[in-house]
Structure 1
């Protein structure tokens, strides 16, 4: 059985793992979500309420797909910052935006989601896609996202969740336990990495518990929206107006 890293060594493990799978990450994400990941990212940005000319932050940005979706909302007069601690994922992100019409408004930078290198009240929104399950402490990261967002701004997470419908739930976990690791071994090029992604998704807090973490971080108007029957969920909250 694959041994998940503990809190003390998780940061290094996750960085090394994503460095190793960066080149194939987008392909695997599309295959494992049956191509639905694109529409989910669009919805996440809509829920983040980023407007034309706004300034957005995308943490754990990986290969930059959610950052590009933010850029489409912010338009040519806006600005989007994508932050990740994997240098190889950022290299893929920079390659991905070559030829993207709004690439000039996107800045990618290496950094730690546990200690965001930005002043308070900087961004109109902050998003994280499939990233919270990879950080050492979820509450700390959500607090940091809350800190750097302007009063009234939104914090939105898009990540794996837990379906609740009885028959669908059993069928999903059977698929998840058998098919996903096999796909990772076949196409991902790193079986251990996809074992980790599988196991970390299984222990990630369900959407209703993640909402409570958002509340503890100081956000209001918190809630979640299930996607694909609860396989994935959007969890969101708003920074209180001061």
Structure 2
């Protein structure tokens, strides 16, 4: 099975979409546990930071694209409060099922609406939200620029688009240690966590194929997001990109 998760640089369009759907359908039940363990519990801090960069105020409306198990949507709901509205969108049924379970255990169930849909063709009107976020998913969409453009479209003028994503650290010694962990150790730990080889081999492969954070910042600016910038966290292993419509 491991071979099916290698050399995915040739995947595009519907083929990549189907492949990514199969990966996340397989790991949905262990996704949160493994994220926390494999990130040494840093994933929670990263999501809080990304949510804060949206500038979402109490009573505001937010969209979390590729919401997965709902963890970033929950951080947005804390900011929006009971008078606010958060919509989480994902194309994977298993991830949405896990999100419903996670959100149902919190006080934010009435604030968050979950919708099944495609990140590249968002089923929302123009200017419908105060902000749009995407967490650890921009690597997995078939068309990065189209996805960010769709997020921009549904955000009102003056609103923010925020991406939280894995990045490529540059500090020489740290970079080598990180890539050894990420490419050699993490897939083995992931295999132990989900019981099969493969899904967590896609993680380092997807990062290898993903543009550097400088290029993503340039993409934000190219599609018309103003004041595009990014923040590197935890030595540059993740980056938060921010742009204003």
Please confirm whether the aligned pair reaches a TM-score higher than 0.5, indicating the same fold: yes
1:7 counterpart residue number = 12
> TM-score, normalised on structure 2?
0.95
For residues 40-189 of structure 1, the aligned pairs below 5 Å read: 40-189=46-195
SS of aligned partner of 1:10: helix
Are the aligned partners of 1:139 and 1:216 in contact in 2 as well (CA < 8 Å)?
A: no
Unaligned runs of 5+ in 1: none
> C-alpha deviations, 1:48-85, integer Å up to 9, x for none?
11100000000000000000000000000000000000
**Distance apart, 1:177 and its partner CA:** 1.4
1:201 counterpart residue number = 207
Q: How far apart, CA to CA, are the structure 2 residues paired with 1:122 and 1:167?
A: 45
Are the aligned partners of 1:226 and 1:233 in contact in 2 as well (CA < 8 Å)?
A: yes
**Distance apart, 1:218 and its partner CA:** 1.2
Q: How far apart, CA to CA, are the structure 1 residues paired with 2:111 and 2:90?
A: 17
**Distance apart, 1:202 and its partner CA:** 1.9
**Distance apart, 1:210 and its partner CA:** 0.6
Unaligned runs of 5+ in 2: none
1:24 counterpart residue number = 30
Are the aligned partners of 1:21 and 1:190 in contact in 2 as well (CA < 8 Å)?
A: no
Q: How far apart, CA to CA, are the structure 2 residues paired with 1:98 and 1:43?
A: 23
Task: Give the RMSD, CA atoms, in angstroms.
Answer: 1.0
**Distance apart, 1:38 and its partner CA:** 0.6
Q: Which moved more, 1:45-54 or 1:4-13?
A: 4-13
**Distance apart, 1:33 and its partner CA:** 0.7
Are the aligned partners of 1:125 and 1:153 in contact in 2 as well (CA < 8 Å)?
A: yes
Q: How far apart, CA to CA, are the structure 2 residues paired with 1:189 and 1:50?
A: 39
> C-alpha deviations, 1:138-157, integer Å up to 9, x for none?
00000000000000001000
**Distance apart, 1:111 and its partner CA:** 0.1
1:229 counterpart residue number = 235
SS of aligned partner of 1:48: coil
Q: How far apart, CA to CA, are the structure 2 residues paired with 1:90 and 1:238?
A: 28
Are the aligned partners of 1:21 and 1:189 in contact in 2 as well (CA < 8 Å)?
A: no
> C-alpha deviations, 1:207-240, integer Å up to 9, x for none?
111101111221011011000100011011010x
Q: How far apart, CA to CA, are the structure 2 residues paired with 1:188 and 1:207?
A: 29
Q: Which moved more, 1:39-48 or 1:195-204?
A: 195-204
Structure 1 runs, 4 residues or longer, greater than 6 Å off:
none
Q: Which moved more, 1:2-11 or 1:53-62?
A: 2-11
